[in-house]
Structure 1
């Protein structure tokens, strides 16, 4: 059975560290602690005294003053790893955690999970080919030497880099290493850890290289593991659940996140708020519990993005440069059908095309697989279609050799609507107002990843009103925009009533509009 030696990097909250050590070791696992040398000596002495009689706890022999982005973080980690290897010969796995991490599964589940596959868990992506680094310097992290901390010595940090550039002091990356990058929260087998420690003693040149790179805790272990372990024995993922906001800050979890955390496909979570005492108590008790069945739905990130996105409706204040001089054409007419239920929008679009011979295209800005003619590549992805929206529509008018074209849009595309209405062409809008049952919203949540088959029922029941409210909010935004030539069909209205706005939208007689509005199963789910 797996026996885990947790490698704990910490710098604060000694009471929480003591509780974490007692909780983890009570389940038969081990803990090796590195406590930042910058922290209070009294806090370190408190931890040592409280855990002195626990044979399953070890301490790094050397305490390092750690700084974010510095080699000192790797140095402190290696010190704790070395102490763990020496103190716990029965440990099969070494799992990196921080003082802000907590288990979100039971010890029983965690051990069974690690026993299931003889592999290492570590994010390990190609440094240069992947898009893991979103902003800031990239190659400069490696080819220049970094002696100053960017957060505490900003001027020295950037001045040093600039002078190295001017003097041509870029260095070579070791020839036999493919630099990898990923999260610092890994779980490695004992054999892998022993190989790494042996490598650190043998390859002093590599150690010197990483010692002056920037943010080496994201590259050091990630590179060495990929260098030593076959691909088939690496799972390129972390077992610690963490999320970041749009501002690059880690998301903090509180008392009401308990059910969400348990349903994620991870063993630990970071960061747990120090104030979330009830959450800490419940997660702590969970680790020692046996026989718990976890329903993994893994919707945490998509749910977070959905909830954060509500209320953050932004607008562009200037046209894109590729749109500045493009127009669909003054004599052309764009007909837009707005429907949240895509199957309803598609059915109506098919009947319109049948009855009027107006060329129609379904959700081209919402659905990647929408059938489109070859327009030289501009149509290949939703991103390209949206970026070059006016050019795309102009080409579609030309392709179909028409001055009237109909498309479907999801109601969350207010930005697109504003842009089309700002064009010299005539734009007409028909919104289809439908009813949303709880069952349909439940299915919608599963289709877009907000919920899974194993999402707890109480979580779904809380989510349904929020999603329904979001639908109404999207519709209200469109109506508040007060677009010209805007019409509304309602599922609850009769075909004769709906024929009136439909006739105006299509500029056809009401008799023909009634035939379209009477389409069989138009609103059927």
Structure 2
């Protein structure tokens, strides 16, 4: 027989029994270690399940704890019993949460073709990149008498104490510390040499105070005796960025098959489909492919990235990102138009036809949210309540963009609106912000209010827009921002409008032939002069001489001349 299995079990005994029986009935001897902390009644019941199988036995039990020497002791006990009772060429260490992905016959054939090869991940501390916890070579030069999981405070303090006073242990002569996965498949010759080494007592004493010795004991000693090491495991396992193992579920069947590995861990105990599929006697040969877990590494990398960064623009209870460390503030591009609805009549209707996007009114208007079409409820159950919107104005915008993915969202903005999103939109790469400065004065010009009220309101709106323009010209801005003084814009509106449309819909082949209808600005220059005469200095409109009514330079309907 080419291979025997050592199983390390501590829970999910129904599943462990299924796997052990599968291997045993396939002709492979199995030695099982059961954690000594398991109740005697549970242990005895587990043992009774294998009374009909002569090639299943149980070794000496130890109380096992993560990252401690007890795990090495359990593996040693299982290996000694395996070598004593069975004539195997290789010994395969597995856990109770493992599952075979390929028949034992295929593993036998694979190992018989490589009778002198040890399959054990074994790399030096300078070459390993997966250690988690900030301890690499120090795990071999410091002492770790305290449990990292149960005595974390003592663990950290004792490590700090040893570092402060430069207390170091000597690594036994001839040993070069190596690290790797605890799930290995060693030849009988190499494993016997490790267990029968005359200096084993010295090595055991040393590794008792190494941190996580089950990831370094066999990995280091195999380098002393092996004639051919394949520094990889035949077991498929994956860890996340925190060093926690990925768990495989029923929907991972095809993923596990694609890896061509012989064994996988860690399997969810209730993954009925996985156990039924891979423990079936009818599964047949899976092929002769070389075990290659890198085939699925791309998927796991994406999973880790998704867990760390989330989906762009998605904010949810289970993963709320840290401010300014989001994976995108919003999920899709959107456009903000400031001053356009003041200068042009029915600008939102014209824009909707020009670009085929969803064009809203003033989403941040003081009274209510002005959704397109006058809707009261928008995608995702967003209501038009200004009170609810202003409770979390940035979350309102991110929700609106997320819930309307696939459709470009455009909306109007004004100094009259809630200003709490200015910094958020200015630093959002998805935002396209177009501003006609001073356009807020047009509704005041057309109103019939008392001029004293108009002057006061104009001063207030100008202060707000000046503060906003300062934000939009900040070095921290990531949005695509275009700013035109009102006088400059209305002289030739076609060129800026065309540039905006091209950016929103770059695939459009049709060019603009006319601008939307502009409001009547006759007397607007005199209106601005009256504000000056009353002591309010308009600063954002540009040059509007008194008596010179602003008119677009080009009013023809033909193809516009665009300067690029």
Fold shared, TM-score > 0.5 on shorter chain: yes
Indicate the RMSD between aligned Cα atoms, in angstroms.
3.5
Higher relative contact order (CA 8 A, sep 6+): 1
SS of equivalent to 1:263: helix
Structure 2 residue 114 is the aligned partner of structure 1 residue 98: no
Structure 2 residue 263 is the aligned partner of structure 1 residue 271: no
Partner of 1:341: none
Structure 2 residue 222 is the aligned partner of structure 1 residue 225: yes
Q: Would the alpha carbon gap of residues 204 and 307 (structure 1) be closer, same or farther in structure 2, given more than 3 Å must change?
A: closer
Partner of 2:27: 28
Range with bigger deviation, 9-18 or 267-276: 9-18
Give the number of the structure whose alpha-carbon radius of gyration is greater. Answer: 2
Assess if the C-alpha contact under 8 Å between 1:263 and 1:298 holds in 2: no
Q: Note the C-alpha offset of 1:274.
A: 0.7
2:205 corresponds, among 208, 211, 224, to: 208
Q: Note the C-alpha offset of 1:299.
A: 3.5
Structure 2 Cα separation of the partners of residues 162 and 511 of structure 1? 69
Partner of 2:391: none
Assess if the C-alpha contact under 8 Å between 1:261 and 1:269 holds in 2: yes
Q: Note the C-alpha offset of 1:253.
A: 1.1
Partner of 2:535: none
Assess if the C-alpha contact under 8 Å between 2:62 and 2:74 holds in 1: yes
Structure 2 Cα separation of the partners of residues 426 and 121 of structure 1? 51
Structure 2 Cα separation of the partners of residues 253 and 317 of structure 1? 32
Assess if the C-alpha contact under 8 Å between 2:62 and 2:73 holds in 1: yes
Alignment of 1:55-454 (within 5 A): 55-60=54-59, 62-89=60-87, 91-118=88-115, 119-199=117-197, 201-230=198-227, 233-285=228-280, 289-293=283-287, 299-307=295-303, 309-310=305-306, 311-313=310-312, 317=323, 423=475
Assess if the C-alpha contact under 8 Å between 1:265 and 1:298 holds in 2: no
Partner of 1:445: none
Q: Any idea what the Cα deviations from partners look like across 1:300-349, whole Å, max 9, x if unmatched?
A: 23123335645433888569xxxxxxxxxxxxxxxxxxxxxxxxxxxxxx
Q: Note the C-alpha offset of 1:497.
A: 5.7
Structure 1 Cα separation of the partners of residues 278 and 300 of structure 2? 21
Assess if the C-alpha contact under 8 Å between 1:183 and 1:238 holds in 2: yes
Q: Any idea what the Cα deviations from partners look like across 1:429-487, whole Å, max 9, x if unmatched?
A: 9xxxxxxxxxxxxxxxxxxxxxxxxxxxxxxxxxxxxxxxxxxxxxxxxxxxxx98981
Assess if the C-alpha contact under 8 Å between 1:242 and 1:251 holds in 2: yes
Q: Would the alpha carbon gap of residues 307 and 219 (structure 1) be closer, same or farther in structure 2, given more than 3 Å must change?
A: closer
Assess if the C-alpha contact under 8 Å between 1:143 and 1:171 holds in 2: yes
Structure 1 Cα separation of the partners of residues 233 and 14 of structure 2? 27
SS of equivalent to 2:203: helix
Q: Note the C-alpha offset of 1:273.
A: 0.6
Q: Note the C-alpha offset of 1:270.
A: 0.7
Assess if the C-alpha contact under 8 Å between 2:132 and 2:242 holds in 1: no
Structure 2 Cα separation of the partners of residues 421 and 181 of structure 1? 53
Structure 1, unmatched stretches of 5+, are 320-413, 430-482, 499-508, 514-525
Partner of 1:38: 37
Partner of 1:487: 503
Q: Note the C-alpha offset of 1:145.
A: 1.9
Q: Note the C-alpha offset of 1:423.
A: 4.1
Structure 2, unmatched stretches of 5+, are 314-320, 326-426, 432-471, 482-498, 513-559
Structure 1 Cα separation of the partners of residues 208 and 300 of structure 2? 36
Q: Note the C-alpha offset of 1:124.
A: 0.7
Structure 2 Cα separation of the partners of residues 240 and 270 of structure 1? 7
Assess if the C-alpha contact under 8 Å between 1:11 and 1:36 holds in 2: yes
TM-score by length of structure 1 reads 0.59
Structure 2 Cα separation of the partners of residues 235 and 303 of structure 1? 24
Assess if the C-alpha contact under 8 Å between 2:102 and 2:285 holds in 1: no
Q: Note the C-alpha offset of 1:510.
A: 7.5
Structure 2 Cα separation of the partners of residues 424 and 159 of structure 1? 42
Flag the structure with higher helix content.
1
Structure 2 Cα separation of the partners of residues 58 and 415 of structure 1? 63
Q: Would the alpha carbon gap of residues 48 and 297 (structure 1) be closer, same or farther in structure 2, given more than 3 Å must change?
A: closer
Q: Note the C-alpha offset of 1:213.
A: 0.9
Q: Note the C-alpha offset of 1:26.
A: 1.0
